[in-house]
Amino acid sequence: MKIICNTVALTDACNNVQRAVAAKSVNPALEGICIKTTEQGIELCGYDLEVGITTMLDAGKAGEGGIILNAKTFCDMLRRLPAENVTIEADDKQRCTIKSGDTEYHITGMAQDEYPDLPYVMGGSPVVLPQAVLKNMIRQVIFAVSTDESKTVHRGVKFEIAPGHLSLIALDGYRLAIRREEVEYSGDEMTFVVPAKTLSEVIKIMDDEDGYLSLNLDGKHIVFGLNGYQIVSRLLEGHFLDYGSAIPKQFETEVKVSTRDFIESIDRMTPLINEKFKTPLRCVFADQSLNLYSNTTLGSASDRIDAVITGPDVEKGFNSRYLSEAFRAIDSDEALIRLNTQAVSPACVFPISGDSFFYMILPVRLPNENG
């Protein structure tokens, strides 16, 4: 097998495919990129048995075949090649020569038949979505995905697709994030849960411009098609929490606040907050202002920002990181915080108008609370 292709194009493709390569595995093939010739050019593949990324590249080629090359070694070599084009040649003993200009490497690979097959997804009509929209939606919920190994299904983002609507939902037992968008879709309603790990890799390949991507799925796997790449992933199975029943139906107090002002105020409190001891940030909503207090073993701090408050005064404690991550995900200049006076009632965050996002954060018991 002999391949000649553009060095930059191959380097970029390998860097993206490498995202799905296992960092360490009992199967050395999973630590490699599989390269094989096809009628269209060459196919590159990375796969760790959970997520697989493939792409095709135009290339001059002689002979049919393929080889598995250690991803880290191969990508490091490609980044250092000096010439516009690179030649890759492998014999039947998997001895591989990589040459570009006056630079030449010799490495030993593995036979392509040692590489596992990616799942074949045979779904119906694909769902087509704007890349920039979906990228932003994922960014605005993925921070709330659970990291608890025992809650497998909550380690992903739930997609709810219905005619004209797409919703993404993430939760971890302490907070809930929902992002909604109107989309051009007229097919059947679908719900499925995609691992956060997969979505983290997908958004790295997404465009911020006007490109589109396709989603195709069967009962156990999903394929994202975008920018010349196919990203296949298993779907998460299990009972996703009935989040709707956890959302309060009524609120006593509504607070209109500047998104930036609130983020900056939280930031001013964090130098004294030790995440290890889970010290809550005290938030007092009263007198048309939001007052923040931090009192820890390191010291104390207070801050105040303006707010427009309707309803009775409310005082609650929250995890400062949860508050910060929710408000950093908001694109609008202002947001509404709705609360109830009960100690265990969550804070719910809404847009000023519409329902494009929703965040819910459970309170943390303050030190002086009884019971």
The pLDDT of residue 60: 85
From residue 80, alpha-carbon distances to 7, 35, 83, 108, 342 in Å are 10, 19, 9, 19, 61
pLDDT of the residue at 273: 83
Contact (CB, 8 A) for 192 and 235: yes
In a domain, 225, yes or no: yes
What span, in angstroms and rounded, lies between the C-alpha atoms of 169 and 186? 21
Pair (89, 194) in one structural domain: no
Q: Are residues 107 and 135 in the same domain?
A: no
Structural domain that includes position 64: 2-114
Assess if residue 371 is contained within a domain.
Answer: no
200 and 301 share a domain? no
Half-sphere exposure of 155 (CA within 13 A, CB side): 14
Q: pTM, whole model, 2 decimals?
A: 0.92
Residues 262 and 229 in one domain: no
Residues 86 and 137 in one domain: no
pLDDT on residue 241: 94
Shared domain for 251 and 229, answered yes or no, is no
What are the angstrom distances between the C-alpha of 82 and each of 4, 58, 59, 252?
Answer: 15, 20, 18, 66
Q: Clarify whether residues 146 and 170 are in a common domain.
A: yes
What single letter denotes the amino acid at residue 97?
T
Q: 91 and 34, same structural domain?
A: yes
Helix (H) or strand (E) holding 75: helix 71-80
Residues 307 and 339 occupy one common structural domain: yes
Per-residue pLDDT, 371: 43
Q: Tell me what pLDDT residue 203 has.
A: 95
**What's the number of domains the chain is made of?**
3
Which tokens in the block code for residue 17? Answer: 């495919």
Per-residue pLDDT of the chain (371 residues; tens, 9 = 90+): 899 999 999 999 999 999 999 999 999 999 999 999 988 889 999 999 999 999 999 988 777 899 999 999 999 999 999 999 999 999 999 999 999 999 999 999 999 999 999 998 877 778 999 999 999 999 999 999 999 988 899 999 999 999 999 999 999 999 999 999 999 988 889 999 999 999 999 999 998 778 999 999 988 999 999 999 999 999 999 999 999 999 999 999 999 999 999 999 999 998 888 776 678 999 999 999 999 999 888 899 999 999 999 999 999 999 999 999 999 999 999 999 999 999 999 999 999 999 999 999 999 988 765 54
- What one-character DSSP code corresponds to residue 243? G
- State pLDDT tens for residues 269-306: 988 887 766 789 999 999 999 999 998 888 999 999 99
Domain assignment of residue 305, yes or no: yes
Are 304 and 277 in the same domain? yes
Q: Does 276 fall in a domain?
A: yes
Q: Are residues 289 and 325 in the same domain?
A: yes
| Residue 121 included in any domain | no
CATH of the domain at 286: 3.10.150.10
**Beta-bridge partner residues of 162:** 165
Residues 352, 331, 263, 171: what is their CA dihedral angle, to the nearest 10 degrees? Answer: 90
Tell which of 73, 89, 114 closes a domain: 114
Q: Is residue 91 part of a domain?
A: yes
Where is the domain boundary, 114, 136, 167?
114
Q: Phi, psi at residue 350, to the nearest 5°? A: -125, 160
Amino acid present at 25: S
Within a domain: 285: yes
Same domain? For 69 and 154 the reply is no
Q: Which of 234, 264, 289 is the last residue of a domain?
A: 234
